[in-house]
Chain A
């Protein structure tokens, strides 16, 4: 059974710092991995999608990497801003992705202080 773990559960950093959020999964047979952002009480905003054949994806100040063999992904946020404060969720889709569902970690709650 696939399990997704995110470390740390919470993180507080001063504005301007670069930071890394970690995600690990127990079954390497994944179809893709997505990183999401969730503001309090709101829905999920997709940040980056990495297909199983890819190693990384970049969007603006965000870079996500995937190491399928070790069951790890990282989300790198450069030059953090107070507006980046939110909960970041990692989710994997099992192989056979055309019928897949997403399995989520519990998230990392990020607070960026001005």
Chain B
């Protein structure tokens, strides 16, 4: 049973560019959440997708947007990259319908903005 997968593993972008990160949830899961983890900090919630809609959003600007596809996979898009967007981006999946909501995390995408 494949766990949560993310691509790419590493990414280097220039300020002002746009980036798309991808996530495939654990088999059977229907909910995807995205987190940003700066060096030495705990992860911070960006947003959560369920049934192809953004269900909840953290304190992140509109430059951060996302999408969930019918197969439950998800994308995180960041426009107009800033140096401060350099971080580890983590995707987590869970199964809303059963409750409990234990979240399973992927290996992350390391984004470096130069």
Residues on B lying within 8 angstroms of A by beta carbon are 4, 6, 33, 35, 40-45, 48, 50, 55-56, 58, 88, 90, 92, 96, 99-108, 110
* Count, chain A residues at interface, CB 8 A: 27
Which of A36, A49, A51, A106 contacts B105, CB < 8 Å?
A: A36
Cβ of A1 to closest chain B Cβ, rounded Å: 10
CB nearest neighbor in B for A109: B40
Residues of A within 8 A of B33 (CB): 101-102
B42 adjacent to A89 (CB under 8 Å): yes
Per-position contact with B for A76-112: 1 when CB-CB < 8 Å, else 0?
0000000000000101010001111111111100000
A58 within 8 A of B: no
A103 to B41, CA, bound (A): 12
Cβ of A63 to closest chain B Cβ, rounded Å: 18
A100 adjacent to B101 (CB under 8 Å): yes
A98 adjacent to B101 (CB under 8 Å): yes
Cβ of A90 to closest chain B Cβ, rounded Å: 9
A41 to B42, CA, bound (A): 13
